[in-house]
Amino acid sequence: MRLIVVTTLLWLSAARAEFTIAGPFAARDGETCVVCNSKLSRDDLAYTIDGQRVAVMKGMEQEILANPGKYVKQARPEGMLFSGEKNSGMTSPWFWAGLFVLIGLVFGGFCAHTAMGKGYSPTHWFALGFFFSVAAQLALLSKPSLREGPAPSGLSKIPVTQSPILCRACGAANHPTARNCIRCGKATT
């Protein structure tokens, strides 16, 4: 469920990008059209989209105005040093993707820890917790424990090896190797 919500938010944030478009201006001789890659003359047009000059052949301006992001990306230089980005901070899709992973890791860890305590597979429940977060944690909490008693499965309580010795004076039970009674302090043998 969380995966669908985050994917939708990423898609909406990418689709919402708005551009500031200025122009049209006269193109310069020798500029290249971003739509058809042919040489332009002064009779053709140029626009400024988000501060980036984009030249286009006359008659093709509707193509560039319909999808400015596609053509601005072609005209901008690639690389970190010369990027024409206005916002140099973290973009929205990366923020949501990072938040998705962080929440998934936290709930995956909670589910794995709880599953191990209840006797279920921690790997299986980590994966469920990573993708389904709160729903997986609630489902795991509602499942009964597979463990009986305080000892983990496969282990049992160590049996008593010798019977305790009773003190002759007060009748208190003492460890078989004790020399003096723990209650009265007299010799046990």
Task: Compute the distance between CA of residue 177 and CA of residue 162 in angstroms, rounded to an integer.
Answer: 10
pLDDT digits (tens, 9 = 90+) for 146-170: 865 555 555 555 665 678 888 988 9
Task: Compute the distance between CA of residue 63 and CA of residue 133 in angstroms, rounded to an integer.
Answer: 44
Question: Is residue 188 within 8 Å of 181, Cβ to Cβ?
Answer: yes
Calculate the average pLDDT of the chain. Answer: 77
Q: Other CB atoms closer than 10 Å to residue 122's CB: what's the count?
A: 18
**Where residue 124 falls among pLDDT bands split at 50, 70, 90?**
very high
**Residue 48 pLDDT more than 90?**
no
The pTM (predicted TM-score) of the whole model is: 0.37
The residue that leads in pLDDT, 90 or 100, is 100
**Residue 26 pLDDT more than 90?**
no
